[in-house]
Structure 1
Amino acid sequence: MSTDKSAKGIINAIGGPDNIRSLTHCATRLRFELNDADLVKAEDLEQIPEVLGTMPQSGDRYQVIVGGAVESMYSAIKSLPDMKTHASNSQSDDDVKAAARSKARGKNAWLDTFFEYLSDSFRPILGVLLGASLIIAFAAVLDAFEVVNFRAADKAPGWVFIDSMWHSVFYFLPIMVAFNAAKKLKVDPWLGATIMAAFLTPDFLKLSNSELYTTLQCVENEAIKKATCSTEVFGLPLTLPDYSGNVFVPLMMIPVLALVYHNLKKIIPSNVQMVFVPFISMIVIIPLTAFLIGPLGIWIGNGLGFGLAWMNATAPFVFAIAIPLIYPFLVPLGLHWPLNAMMLVNIQTLGYDFIQGPMGAWNFACFGTTAGVLYLAIRDKDNVMRQTASGALAAGLFGGISEPSLYGIHLRFKLAYSRLLAGCLAGGLTIAVLSLPYGGVKTDAFVFTSLLTISVFDPAWVYLIAIAVAFTTSMLAVIALDYRPLEERPSYIRKNTVTLPENTVGVPIEGKVISLDEAGDKVFASRALGEGFAVVPEVGPTGKANVVAPITGTISSVTKSGHAFGIKSADGTEVLVHVGIDTVNLKGDGFDVKVAKGDQITAGSPLVGVDFEKVAAAGYATTVIVTVTNTRSFAAVTPVLADHAAVLTPGVTTQR
């Protein structure tokens, strides 16, 4: 399927252009804000090859997981003619906010909004953060091999220039965060960036020059090994912290700016807003940030950093194990951003960070799980999963990005999570034991934990052993225990598969085999769809069971609602498996589709997991119908009726 076709399919399944209030993307996900999330057809989305999964959220927010190709998919969606037309008819800010308030669902919609604010403040700069982290890794490797001492004050100009290539990202990070945060809150992003930039200008930094200003007073802060200075401005005391690299201040300042900005737009005439809204915002927010928000943000950031540092120093063993164990639950919900921000604060205040080391154990446990899945996919000749896992593994090992693995595999197969947690525990325990004499694994740079950034951690040998243990533990756990439910594993299917006699179509589910005349559907009874049989299923106490393939062949069709499947065998037999009567009306509710069009399957392979109790409770017959749709190609197609038939016992025999 082409990207353009997939993009159109995503928009149609999401409810069409008119259902979209806004669309953004992160490293792996398309993020929709919708007018009505009930219009989303999740089953249609999951039929699109590029879609790895979906994640509904409160407040009519909806995420579609695409993986590493998200940017090209986003561009393809924005280029669709329908989207261009829709853009010109978008709602006003007031309309959007009113709709959001009226449609917000769930008790914690405000919490989703808060974490989405954090996420969207960082999301657009992930690329430059990754680029900077790789430059740092390159520098660390040269430093490790004593090619150059990057910590020396008298480095050659060329190496100083290389420093500037990565240091620019972290020095001006507050401006970048302010820009993105302002954009998220519908404020002119350049206004947010300008206000934050005021505190990184040579003029503001000059206020800390004791030779120029005699009112300057500095106090050495032993905790961060830096002096905190203050001076007088218009007779008021002004604290002069180092704002470079700080992310708490812009995150706190922008909501206050948004409050001022939007109120000014309400009271200032539109023909002069361009001049006076930025002007008044700047003369209000810059002093407010300098005298109040900035020092408060620095204090909060330092306090949280010192608190975590105290925990790491007081209970390093517990800390090293806890971090990798909580990250697998934080990342899917977007709750990891506060910890990521703390890493930056630690580097700015303490000169090093102690969270990224244990966090690396979680990342490599994640990648190890994916490696195990890839091994099984190659062994079982599962081409779809092989492609998914190989792409996710490459993104993880070389980019340090966990989302393709997490959303493409681990959240789809819940058993993979227990294998992942085993690796997290083993990696965290390794760091806890080996780094105890060193006070933990530390780094003086913010990096993405990948193979390329191992050298920035100290002690590197402890970190290397820990991530290797995490990776190997998860990989071996998946290989030994699998990541799929028992009934979906090839070994189970082979063990429990009855070899069908030649020219036979098997029964897809245990139960009573009846003729099409008794199935309760006039179309099937007319044999318009071919001769065949029906099964009144017998299921266990859970009311759930798999409907399996009655022949070996290729999946030729899968309905969007997951209730009907077409299969064509190598000898030309064409079979339709139809679960229930009129169950198309359930729109996939109660159906867990296991296959996709084009899949090669063997007799006995699960086609769909069905909650038969839910189907019956909705008022629909649960009868499973199987027909040979190309009956006319045979001399005879003869049903084999039985009061009780096991799975894959003959349902019809064919004769050419």
Structure 2
Amino acid sequence: MASSVKQTSEFILDKVGGADNIVSLTHCATRLRFQLADQSKADQTALDNNPSVLGVVPQGSTGLQVVMGGSVANYYQELQKLTGGETAKSSGKKEYGGARGKYSWLDYGFEVLSDTFRPILWALLGASLIITMLVLADTFGWQDFRAEQQPPTYQFMHAMWRSVFYFLPIMVGATAARKLGANEWVGAAIPAALLTPEFLAMKELPETIVTQSAAGTDVYKVPVFGITMVLNDYGGQVFPPLLAAIGLFWVEKLFKKIIPEAVHMVFVPFFSLLIMIPLTAFLLGPIGIYAGVGISNFLSAVNNFSPLLLAIVVPLLYPFLVPLGLHWPLNVIMIQNIATLGYDFIQGPMGAWNFACFGVVTGVLVLSIKERNSTMRQVSMGGMMAGLLGGISEPSLYGVLLRFRRSYMALLPGCAIGGLIMGLFDVKAKAFVFTSLLTIPAMEPMGGYAIGLAVAFATSLVLVIVMDYRTKEEKAEILERLAAERADTEAEAIASEAPAAAAPVAGAAAGGVATATKPVKTALEPGALTQITAPLQGKAVALSEVPDPIFAAGKLGQGVAIQPTGSEVVAPADATVLTVQKSGHAVGLRLDSGVDLLVHVGIDTVQLNGEGFTVHVEKKQHVKAGEKLISFDPSFIESKGYNTITPVLVTNTPKFEAVQGATADNADANTVVITTKAKEA
């Protein structure tokens, strides 16, 4: 595994243009996120064709996301080793570098949101499962999840998850500042000042005035520097620290220009804190809270008008928002709703999208097992497990949905029907969690939510199995490739066993197994011509007529193809059996003359698992010309939908100067169908 990760990481590094082309490298739950000096140097097609890469998504004119799935951290660490951590960013250039002309403001805005929450994702995931445990305890009557006073054990457990959500502004302040290019610890200190006991205690000061808002809540105002300051509750808020980080970027930039570089470390953070904490408390913080509440109230009004409408629209939007990274604003609103309303109405319907997505990849898994498609089986299995247990949709999205757009025809009905059920039950989230089987208890009503998930999952799963997830052309191409790979594997097995094959003898030992005697390889003598007769009766045609690209192109060896009229494969000359498939569909021979021959009865007939075939010889057995090797039932094979055309190949073709096939309408054991010419000395 380690070797595979290293090789893939080396490949990725090469295809993105090398370390010198990387301005910055980060990662999220499933994606490597590159900022490149020159995006045109990245070979996106080569990256996308690598089986370890689930997808490639360009961002703006310099960004590139390489989707690796749940093990993305391993590739990130390996890339860090390969580059020594030294990329173009090491020059001291900020991650964004202020080069705004290279991005549209909208693209960059969503990128900031995405990269702000990306590093916090692990903490949010962990906290969401702790919340789920406590909600389960509430469901079983062991404690009241909403009670202000808890027994000591539960009080401590609530502190375990609240640490993430209450201090979320500090985390957001740090990650947003780092993304923008400002100092992350100053970015964290600004919202932290508004969460200190000193700031919170200002509500109890004699000078504090308490009024009532239009919504009937208490509003605390206190004079600071002679100016009225509104004392908001900033715990769990995300918009205020985002605005503060943007302000910090410009303040830092200003003071770095006017303060001598020798004293940057002292005076830049001093003036930044001196300006940004009051600016946030007086202006940016309240604006952020009002913005978040305003958006939340708008969506709440839509939900109050028609919960059914919102519940259907949300899951239908997500399949288009997530690939572009546009879903992060909704995640922010979910957290905002929990902080202000005590519940959220978006997460429930969102679950319909997730489980419809997981239903699609589970359907792909079923089809992949049936088709013996190991690549898609691994991709779909990984996507299914990451989704059902972790609530992560990116492996499914980039591994299946965006590669096979027809899959959306199975996805969207699952989203719509699942969302409809969520709306009928008016599902609400009691806490911010990620949609998985483990977090179902965090929704209310839990039963209605579970039904919605099950219906979304089952709908998309059944539709994939019935309609497939590929177009007819995509399916035909994939099945053709799989058949070619299996044929290639069979030929490689024959070739690998050839050196170990026993040499033919004048007389076989008991049981028909050869004893060792050096053969006379006349076919390999310089300039020698050797003629090989048909190993079965039928019409001999050009190899190019075989409906399999590997055989038809002669990649496994030159020769001829025979459309059989008989039902037996015989040895065309004295030979040793190199290999014979248990399924009976193919036999490999080394003729005494030195020619290695493969007779492959039918195309993809290995899937019959031996039905319709009888094997009469065994490996290493020496056989005489005309001796029966395999019997088969052409009618049965054709009734199962398989073509009986039989490639007859010289698998050691490179040892000859020429291998020429000959056509014949009625070939039999007396008809020469292949002529070889040995290389001149």
TM-score scaled to structure 2, two decimals? 0.72
Name 2:143's counterpart in structure 1. 148
Name 1:618's counterpart in structure 2. none
| Residue 155 (structure 1) shift | 2.1
Name 1:469's counterpart in structure 2. 455
| Residue 460 (structure 1) shift | 1.2
1:551 is aligned with what amino acid? Answer: F
2:415 is aligned with what amino acid? Answer: C
Query: Which segments of 5 or more consecutive residues in structure 2 lack a partner in the other structure?
Result: 485-490, 492-540, 557-584, 590-602, 608-648, 665-671, 677-681
2:434 is aligned with what amino acid? Answer: F
| Residue 156 (structure 1) shift | 1.0
Instruction: Classify 1:355/1:196 alpha carbon distance in 2 versus 1 (closer, same or farther; 3 Å).
Output: same
Residue 218 (structure 2) pairs with residue 216 (structure 1): no
Name 2:431's counterpart in structure 1. 445
Name 1:112's counterpart in structure 2. 107
Given candidates 45, 48, 53, the residue that maps to 2:47 is 45
* Number of equivalences: 528
Contact preservation (8 Å) 1:549, 1:602: no
Given candidates 165, 169, 184, the residue that maps to 1:170 is 165
Q: How do residues 482-561 of structure 1 correspond to structure 2 at under 5 angstroms?
A: 482-489=468-475, 549-551=549-551
Q: Alpha-carbon deviations, 1:296-332, whole Å to 9, x = none?
A: 1111111110000000001222111000000110000
Q: Partners in 1 of 2:586 and 2:40 — Cα distance?
A: 41
Instruction: Classify 1:90/1:230 alpha carbon distance in 2 versus 1 (closer, same or farther; 3 Å).
Output: same
Q: How do residues 562-577 of structure 1 correspond to structure 2 at under 5 angstroms?
A: none
Residue 280 (structure 2) pairs with residue 276 (structure 1): no
| Residue 554 (structure 1) shift | 13
Q: Partners in 2 of 1:631 and 1:460 — Cα distance?
A: 67
Contact preservation (8 Å) 1:366, 1:420: yes
Q: Partners in 2 of 1:277 and 1:631 — Cα distance?
A: 75
Instruction: Classify 1:86/1:635 alpha carbon distance in 2 versus 1 (closer, same or farther; 3 Å).
Output: closer
1:294 is aligned with what amino acid? Answer: G
Q: How do residues 592-603 of structure 1 correspond to structure 2 at under 5 angstroms?
A: 602=604
Given candidates 294, 298, 315, the residue that maps to 1:307 is 298
Q: Partners in 2 of 1:148 and 1:631 — Cα distance?
A: 77
Name 2:308's counterpart in structure 1. 317
Residue 20 (structure 2) pairs with residue 29 (structure 1): no
Instruction: Classify 1:271/1:137 alpha carbon distance in 2 versus 1 (closer, same or farther; 3 Å).
Output: same
| Residue 491 (structure 1) shift | 11
Q: Partners in 2 of 1:571 and 1:160 — Cα distance?
A: 72
Q: Partners in 1 of 2:143 and 2:350 — Cα distance?
A: 29
Name 1:93's counterpart in structure 2. 93
Instruction: Classify 1:327/1:655 alpha carbon distance in 2 versus 1 (closer, same or farther; 3 Å).
Output: farther
2:208 is aligned with what amino acid? Answer: T
Contact preservation (8 Å) 2:89, 2:95: no
Given candidates 190, 193, 197, the residue that maps to 1:198 is 193
Q: Partners in 2 of 1:63 and 1:641 — Cα distance?
A: 53
Q: How do residues 373-412 of structure 1 correspond to structure 2 at under 5 angstroms?
A: 373-412=364-403
Name 1:18's counterpart in structure 2. 20
Tell me how large the CA RMSD over aligned residues is: 3.4
Q: Partners in 2 of 1:274 and 1:173 — Cα distance?
A: 26
Name 2:175's counterpart in structure 1. 180
Q: Partners in 2 of 1:231 and 1:570 — Cα distance?
A: 89
Q: Partners in 1 of 2:144 and 2:674 — Cα distance?
A: 79
SS at match of 2:64: strand
| Residue 493 (structure 1) shift | 5.8
Residue 64 (structure 2) pairs with residue 69 (structure 1): no
Q: Partners in 2 of 1:139 and 1:412 — Cα distance?
A: 39
Name 2:134's counterpart in structure 1. 139
1:396 is aligned with what amino acid? Answer: G
Residue 342 (structure 2) pairs with residue 340 (structure 1): no
| Residue 65 (structure 1) shift | 0.6
| Residue 35 (structure 1) shift | 1.2
Instruction: Classify 1:262/1:485 alpha carbon distance in 2 versus 1 (closer, same or farther; 3 Å).
Output: same
| Residue 549 (structure 1) shift | 2.3
Instruction: Classify 1:34/1:548 alpha carbon distance in 2 versus 1 (closer, same or farther; 3 Å).
Output: farther
2:65 is aligned with what amino acid? Answer: Q
Q: Partners in 2 of 1:441 and 1:203 — Cα distance?
A: 39
Name 1:354's counterpart in structure 2. 345
Name 2:616's counterpart in structure 1. none
Instruction: Classify 1:602/1:431 alpha carbon distance in 2 versus 1 (closer, same or farther; 3 Å).
Output: same
2:461 is aligned with what amino acid? Answer: M
Contact preservation (8 Å) 2:318, 2:350: yes
1:375 is aligned with what amino acid? Answer: V
| Residue 146 (structure 1) shift | 1.4
Name 1:631's counterpart in structure 2. 653
Contact preservation (8 Å) 1:221, 1:228: no
Identical residues among aligned pairs (%): 48
Residue 266 (structure 2) pairs with residue 244 (structure 1): no
Q: Alpha-carbon deviations, 1:308-366, whole Å to 9, x = none?
A: 00000012221110000001100000000111100011111111110001001001101
Name 2:669's counterpart in structure 1. none
Q: Partners in 2 of 1:121 and 1:321 — Cα distance?
A: 28
Q: Partners in 2 of 1:39 and 1:88 — Cα distance?
A: 15
Q: Alpha-carbon deviations, 1:367-412, whole Å to 9, x = none?
A: 1111111111111111111111111111100111100100111111
SS at match of 2:84: helix
SS at match of 1:153: coil
Name 2:11's counterpart in structure 1. 9
Name 1:84's counterpart in structure 2. 84
SS at match of 2:53: coil
Q: Partners in 2 of 1:327 and 1:319 — Cα distance?
A: 12
1:412 is aligned with what amino acid? Answer: R
Instruction: Classify 1:94/1:166 alpha carbon distance in 2 versus 1 (closer, same or farther; 3 Å).
Output: closer
Q: Alpha-carbon deviations, 1:85-120, whole Å to 9, x = none?
A: 74488444389748x567x3xxx6322211110001
SS at match of 1:401: coil
Query: Which segments of 5 or more consecutive residues in structure 1 lack a partner in the other structure?
Result: 499-504, 506-531, 538-546, 557-568, 574-600, 606-626, 643-651
Q: Partners in 1 of 2:41 and 2:414 — Cα distance?
A: 39
| Residue 267 (structure 1) shift | 1.2
SS at match of 1:136: helix
Q: Partners in 1 of 2:140 and 2:554 — Cα distance?
A: 55
| Bigger RCO of structures 1 and 2 (CA < 8 A, at least 6 apart) | 1
1:631 is aligned with what amino acid? Answer: T
